[in-house]
């Protein structure tokens, strides 16, 4: 996507590169932005790459004191997630702060700096047969998605069914606030209730509260064997079977549904993990329940985002998953859209939406929102969309507690110097 | 007329006499929670029967800037529900309806006064349960679990309260009613639930809680292993975890704790054990069978001289009875005791236990150890006799020293009991002023007048009007050479 100005967005303030560079005291560098340095189409004026947390703090303090707007960037694999920022004076490239600080295998905990690529973390802990069990989209991991990006975007993956989500695996985080304050919360032990859990608050906040500098995660042992059971069939049958699988006692690690756009059929894939023998027994039970067959490999679409013009995230209750899928079919027919549905029977699914124009896309999203009786039973938020669709779209839908969120933002970033406009309600 | 008098009159006029307590003698009933060493008689008690009562009371307090505190069953062990002498105590235990059991969606919607174990009782017939299981689960309320982010023996595998709450109705400290989350996961926006659960009643009062229900496992197997020393039991724990087994629970007790439990409940733990491990495995029968073999092997390799398996529910209950009654049982061998709650990385277990033993010997204060070994959560019981001159102070000293050892080991000052009134003074040893100011900034966002549960969690109140000043110098943990701060 080319560097197009958001409509009405104020142009970037020209930062004083020398002042910013001085703030780093040699720990990193500052340069003018190139044409590729954009955030969801909004061009930046400068890019800074600090190489330590104190340098990150000094840089941000200086940038904010000069009235600059800063947007953090890790691997840059999800810069089009959320809404585009109102403007970008400075991109804070976190990839220079990238150490694996601590991995004590016996504790099943890893502490890493924000810029450490996820695949590197996984490779390093794999030596002790452990993993950070988050299943972000493999295309993002391959493109260098980082620890900081993982927290800021909180992607939802298949194995959250058994092991829960990113927010449940983060044990502590160190943030750099807009004024340079370095603030830690949590710790590096699995069990800890001292102080507020700000790591959860910042998870999924798209860089609007503070910039993640370091985080601690709970790891899990890699289980020795796995089995995949697949069933293809009619949508209604599969959503019912998915629900029964989630409620079964054979402990599925993941239950995923993949329904390509425009289809009345879908695939149900069940992942089982454990010891060789146990997995075989459980896979047989799963196969019997869903009338499926055990296969060697995970399907190629596993954990990937459905490709389309527009990406949305839908949540639902376990029973609401069927309603969501049915509504997607209705939305396609009503609005001339193509909607691929893929995700966890636990109630978090991704929608790949292709529509002839903005108004049809917006109408399709509204129809999808009607799948759940209330927002407490399910929501649809647009994760990424082309600029020409945005004007007509209600990206976030209803957001409960928005007033409280604004007040928290106001306290932590009163000048709106961090990623303004990227988050709910224009935060 | 004092502000409290005005608040009392306003609340009384709306709620009527039956839902407020002003009689000094009755107010005394609420002077402390489960940590009885702190006592403050509240200025007024409100017995909330519904959300309107809560909103009315909170708004009256907010209007007159009168401090208020929420209380569930009052079982907390850190003085988190300690009342304010010139304030209002809002008691939530009357709100105890299970509003909805939605097993098809693995959810229940409950009022905050519902007792933890009642929810499991109500759903187990359908094959579900509420996973967080604090030792007080027969009496503690789910609202209290939300406030404290309660854990329990089985949270090693299944997580804490924060992992099981998907929605709440919240009355903010300003008296607004906000619905957060629901039955569906991942509500859009900031993870306010993540910040709220475990905030120890400082960010709002929940009037309804939507929780995840967990499927009952197909099989449960409980193993009791006797060791000569705590070191051996610790080595077995490490070996089990390193082998990739995540049991539902791994609990350890040392010789003194065993002695107390035997005397109290005759749980029949192995004779002459210097330490016992209780390991519970659950899940699919095939996994449990595999894991069982591994656990037994690792226990024996680490030196277990006896490994026993519960043959039925009665035997399982007896094994757990020893463990779950350990706190109270200590009363049999000591007139007074302090229950400490600290966390260390599991790999530091052996070293920290050694240090606790040294501390105990140096000060001549006995310490019985009971802990959730799987996640490094220690509950040392510091024994003393209050009748003895200076004994309480010495015990207090040792209990504090244990927390210092936990911090030095890279752990935490509390794993599940909370900071409350009791541990606020230790917060600066674990967090820098900037860390604490940032947490307080979040508090100020919801409670700008600092009227909700003031004096808890944070060592010094912060006036919300002021901006945090910049501070120089290293983080306290870094300075102490302990660790890089996360």
Q: Is B478 on the interface with A (CB under 8 A)?
A: no
Measure CB to CB from residue B184 to each of A164, A180, A320 and give the nearest one. A320
The encoded tokens of residue A31 equal 């340069």
Q: What residue ranges in B288-446 does DSSP mark as E strands?
A: 306-309, 336-339, 342-343, 367-372, 377-384
Those of residues 341-400 in A touching chain B at CB distance below 8 A are 346-348, 372, 374-379, 381, 396-397, 399-400
CATH class assigned to A100-221: alpha beta
Separation CA A336–CA A328 (nearest Å): 11
Rounded to the nearest 5 degrees, what angle is found at the Cα of A202, between the Cα atoms of A417 and B451? 90
User: At B461, is the pLDDT very low, low, confident or very high (cuts 50, 70, 90)?
Assistant: confident
The encoded tokens of residue A124 equal 């390093």
Helix spans in A164-270 (H): 166-169, 198-202, 235-246
**Given this model, what pLDDT does residue A1 score?**
35
Q: How many beta carbons lie within 10 A of that of residue B1, not counting itself?
A: 7
Element (H, E) at A71: strand A70-73
**Given this model, what pLDDT does residue B144 score?**
98
Domains B3-91 and B334-460+470-486 share a fold: no
Top-confidence residue, B124 or B325: B124
Q: How many beta carbons lie within 10 A of that of residue A387, not counting itself?
A: 17
pLDDT at B486 over 80: no
Separation CA B343–CA A372 (nearest Å): 42
3-state secondary structure B207-233: EEEEEECEECCCEEEEEEEEECCHHHH
Residues of B within 8 A of A113 (CB-CB) are none
pLDDT at B280 over 80: yes
Domains A17-95 and A225-295 share a fold: no
**Given this model, what pLDDT does residue B464 score?**
86
Separation CA A420–CA A412 (nearest Å): 13
**Are A379 and B436 an interchain contact pair (Cβ–Cβ within 8 Å)?**
no
- How far CA B465 is from CA of A405, A427, B461, B469, in Å, comes to 18, 22, 12, 12
Q: How far apart are the CA of A363 and the nearest CA of chain B, in angstroms?
A: 20
Residues of B within 8 A of A424 (CB-CB) are 188-190
pLDDT at A210 over 80: yes
State whether the Cα torsion A319-A322-A324-A326 is positive or negative. Answer: negative
Give the residue from chain B lying closest to A154, CA to CA: B186
Q: How far apart are the CA of B5 and the nearest CA of chain A, in angstroms?
A: 30
- How far CA B61 is from CA of B69, B71, B172, in Å, comes to 10, 16, 12
Q: How many beta carbons lie within 10 A of that of residue A388, not counting itself?
A: 12
pLDDT at A7 over 60: no
Q: Is B168 on the interface with A (CB under 8 A)?
A: no
Separation CA B337–CA B405 (nearest Å): 19
Give mean pLDDT, residues B439-449: 96
Give mean pLDDT, residues A24-30: 97
User: At A9, is the pLDDT very low, low, confident or very high (cuts 50, 70, 90)?
Assistant: low
CATH topology of domain B334-460+470-486: Alpha-Beta Plaits (3.30.70)
Between strands B177-181 and B88-91, the pairing is unpaired
User: At B480, is the pLDDT very low, low, confident or very high (cuts 50, 70, 90)?
Assistant: low
**Are A249 and B439 an interchain contact pair (Cβ–Cβ within 8 Å)?**
no
Q: Where are the domains of chain A?
A: 17-95, 100-221, 225-295, 310-390
Counting beta carbons within 10 angstroms of the beta carbon of residue B463, is it exposed (0 to 12), middle (13 to 18) or buried (19 or more)? Answer: exposed
Q: What is the CA B322 to chain-centroid distance, rounded?
A: 20
Place of tokens 């702190």: B38
Q: What pTM value is reported for the model?
A: 0.95
Helices (H) and strands (E) counted in chain A, each on its own, are 14, 20
Encode pLDDT of B186-210 as tens digits: 999 999 999 999 999 999 999 999 9
List Cβ neighbours of A78 (8 Å cut-off, separation of 6 or more). A140, A145, A149, A153, A155, A384
pLDDT at A212 over 50: yes
Q: What residue ranges in B255-363 does DSSP mark as E strands?
A: 275-283, 306-309, 336-339, 342-343
Around B294, how many Cα atoms within 13 Å sit in the side-chain half-sphere? 20
Top-confidence residue, B485 or B183: B183
Q: How far apart are the CA of B439 and the nearest CA of chain A, in angstroms?
A: 6
Which CATH number does the domain B217-333 belong to among 3.90.1150.10, 3.30.70.2190, 3.90.730.10, 1.20.1250.20?
Answer: 3.30.70.2190
Q: Got the DSSP string for A296-348?
A: SS--TTTTPPPPSSEEEEEE--TTHHHHHHHHHHHHHHHHT-EEEEEEETTTE
Helices (H) and strands (E) counted in chain B, each on its own, are 17, 19
Residues of B within 8 A of A410 (CB-CB) are 445
Separation CA B224–CA B236 (nearest Å): 12
Assigned CATH for B3-91:
3.30.43.10
Under DSSP, is residue B141 helix (H, G, I), strand (E, B) or coil?
Answer: strand
User: What percentage of chain A carries pLDDT values higher than 90?
Assistant: 94
Q: Where are the domains of chain B?
A: 3-91, 98-215, 217-333, 334-460+470-486
Around B198, how many Cα atoms within 13 Å sit in the side-chain half-sphere? 31
Assigned CATH for A225-295:
3.30.70.3450
Encode pLDDT of A363-407 as tens digits: 999 999 999 999 999 999 999 999 999 889 999 999 999 999 999
For residue B65, report the phi and psi dihedrals to the nearest 5 degrees.
Answer: 50, 45
Top-confidence residue, B465 or A250: A250
pLDDT at A181 over 60: yes
List Cβ neighbours of B410 (8 Å cut-off, separation of 6 or more). A187, A188, A189, B344, B345, B348, B482, B483
Separation CA A387–CA A385 (nearest Å): 6
Give the residue from chain A lying closest to B177, CA to CA: A401
Neighbouring-strand partners of residue B89: B45, B69
List Cβ neighbours of B10 (8 Å cut-off, separation of 6 or more). B60, B63
Under DSSP, is residue A249 helix (H, G, I), strand (E, B) or coil?
Answer: coil
Separation CA B407–CA B411 (nearest Å): 5
Give the residue from chain B lying closest to A422, CA to CA: B189
CATH topology of domain A17-95: 3.30.43
Those of residues 197-226 in A touching chain B at CB distance below 8 A are 197-201, 203-205, 209, 214-216, 220-224
CATH topology of domain A310-390: Alpha-Beta Plaits (3.30.70)
pLDDT at A4 over 50: no
CATH 3.30.365.10 fits B98-215, yes or no: no
Q: How many beta carbons lie within 10 A of that of residue A280, not counting itself?
A: 15
Q: How far apart are the CA of A215 and the nearest CA of chain B, in angstroms?
A: 6
The encoded tokens of residue B242 equal 């390193």
Separation CA A234–CA A241 (nearest Å): 11
pLDDT at B314 over 50: yes
């Amino acid at each position: 996507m080319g560097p197009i100005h958001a409509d009405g967005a104020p142009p970037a303030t020209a930062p004083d590169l020398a002042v910013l560079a001085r703030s780093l005291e040699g720990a990193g560098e500052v340069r003018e932005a190139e044409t590729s340095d954009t955030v969801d189409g909004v061009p930046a004026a400068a890019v800074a790459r600090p190489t330590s947390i104190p340098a990150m703090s000094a840089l941000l303090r200086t940038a904010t004191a000069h009235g600059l707007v800063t947007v953090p960037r890790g691997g840059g694999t999800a810069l089009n997630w959320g809404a585009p920022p109102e403007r970008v004076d400075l991109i804070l490239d976190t990839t220079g702060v990238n150490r694996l600080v601590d991995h004590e295998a016996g504790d099943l905990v890893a502490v890493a700096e924000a810029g450490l690529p996820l695949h590197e973390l996984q490779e390093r802990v794999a030596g002790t047969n452990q993993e950070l069990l988050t299943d972000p989209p493999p295309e993002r991991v391959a493109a260098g998605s980082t620890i900081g990006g993982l927290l800021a975007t909180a992607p939802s993956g298949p194995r959250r069914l058994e092991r829960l989500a990113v927010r449940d695996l983060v044990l502590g985080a160190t943030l750099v606030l807009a004024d340079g304050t370095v603030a830690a919360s949590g710790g590096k032990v699995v069990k800890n209730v001292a102080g507020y859990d700000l790591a959860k608050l910042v998870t999924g906040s798209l860089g609007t509260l503070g910039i993640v500098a370091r985080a601690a995660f709970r790891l899990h042992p890699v289980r020795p064997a796995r089995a995949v059971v697949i069933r293809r069939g009619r949508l209604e049958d599969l959503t019912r079977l998915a629900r029964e699988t989630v409620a079964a006692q054979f402990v599925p690690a993941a239950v995923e549904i993949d329904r390509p756009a425009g289809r009345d059929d879908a695939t149900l894939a069940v992942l089982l993990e454990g010891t060789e023998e146990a997995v075989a027994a459980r896979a047989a039970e799963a196969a019997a329940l869903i009338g499926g067959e055990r296969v060697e490999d995970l399907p190629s679409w596993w954990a990937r985002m459905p490709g389309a013009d527009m990406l949305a995230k839908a949540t639902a209750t376990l029973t609401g998953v069927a309603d969501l899928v049915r509504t997607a079919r209705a939305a396609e027919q009503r609005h001339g859209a193509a909607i691929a549905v893929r995700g966890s029977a636990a109630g978090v699914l991704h929608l790949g939406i292709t529509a002839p124009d903005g108004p049809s896309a917006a109408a399709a999203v509204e129809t999808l929102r009607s799948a759940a009786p209330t927002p407490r039973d399910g929501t649809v938020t647009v994760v990424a969309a082309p600029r020409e669709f945005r004007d007509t779209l209600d990206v976030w839908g209803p957001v409960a507690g928005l007033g409280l969120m604004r007040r928290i933002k106001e306290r932590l970033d009163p000048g709106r110097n961090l990623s303004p406009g990227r988050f709910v309600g224009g935060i | 007329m004092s502000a409290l008098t005005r608040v009392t009159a306003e609340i009384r006029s709306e709620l009527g006499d039956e839902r407020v307590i002003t009689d000094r003698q009755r107010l005394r009933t609420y002077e402390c929670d489960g940590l009885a060493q702190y006592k403050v008689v509240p200025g007024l008690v409100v017995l909330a029967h519904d959300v309107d009562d809560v909103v009315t009371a909170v708004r009256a307090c907010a209007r007159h800037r009168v401090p208020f505190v929420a209380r569930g069953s009052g079982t907390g062990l850190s003085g988190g529900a300690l009342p304010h002498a010139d304030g209002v105590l809002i008691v939530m235990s009357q709100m105890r309806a299970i509003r909805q059991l939605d097993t098809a969606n693995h959810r229940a919607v409950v009022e905050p006064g519902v007792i933890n174990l009642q929810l499991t009782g109500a759903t187990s017939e359908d094959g579900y349960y509420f996973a967080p299981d604090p030792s007080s689960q027969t009496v503690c309320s789910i609202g209290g679990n939300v406030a404290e982010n309660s854990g329990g023996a089985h949270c090693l595998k299944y997580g804490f309260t924060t992992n099981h709450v998907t929605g709440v109705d919240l009355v903010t400290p300003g008296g607004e009613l906000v619905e957060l989350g629901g039955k569906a996961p991942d509500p859009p926006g900031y993870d306010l639930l993540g910040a709220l659960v475990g905030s120890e009643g400082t960010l709002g009062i929940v009037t309804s809680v939507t929780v995840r229900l967990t499927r009952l496992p197909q099989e449960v197997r409980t193993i009791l292993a006797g060791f000569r020393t705590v070191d051996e039991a610790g080595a077995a724990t490490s070996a089990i975890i390193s082998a990739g087994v995540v049991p539902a629970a791994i609990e350890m007790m040392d010789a003194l704790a065993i002695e107390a439990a035997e005397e109290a409940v005759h749980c029949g733990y192995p004779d002459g054990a210097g330490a016992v491990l209780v390991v519970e495995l659950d899940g699919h029968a095939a996994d449990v069978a595999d894991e069982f073999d591994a656990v037994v092997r690792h226990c024996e390799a680490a030196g277990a001289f006896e490994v026993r398996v519960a043959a039925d529910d009665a035997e399982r209950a007896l094994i757990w009875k020893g463990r779950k009654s350990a706190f109270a049982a200590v009363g049999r061998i000591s007139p007074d005791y302090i229950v400490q709650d600290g966390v260390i990385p599991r790999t530091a277990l052996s070293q920290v236990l050694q240090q606790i033993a040294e501390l105990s010997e140096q000060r001549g204060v006995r310490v019985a150890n009971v802990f959730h070994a799987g996640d490094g959560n220690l509950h040392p019981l510091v024994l003393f006799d209050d009748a003895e001159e200076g004994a309480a102070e010495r015990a207090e000293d040792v209990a504090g020293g244990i927390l210092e050892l936990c911090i030095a080991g890279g752990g935490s000052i509390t794993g599940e009991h909370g900071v409350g009134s009791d541990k606020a003074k230790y917060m600066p040893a674990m967090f820098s002023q900037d860390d604490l100011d940032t947490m307080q900034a979040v508090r100020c966002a919801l409670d700008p007048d600092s009227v909700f549960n003031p004096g808890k969690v944070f060592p010094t109140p912060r006036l919300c009007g002021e901006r945090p000043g910049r501070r120089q110098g290293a983080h306290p943990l870094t300075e102490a050479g302990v660790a890089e701060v996360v």
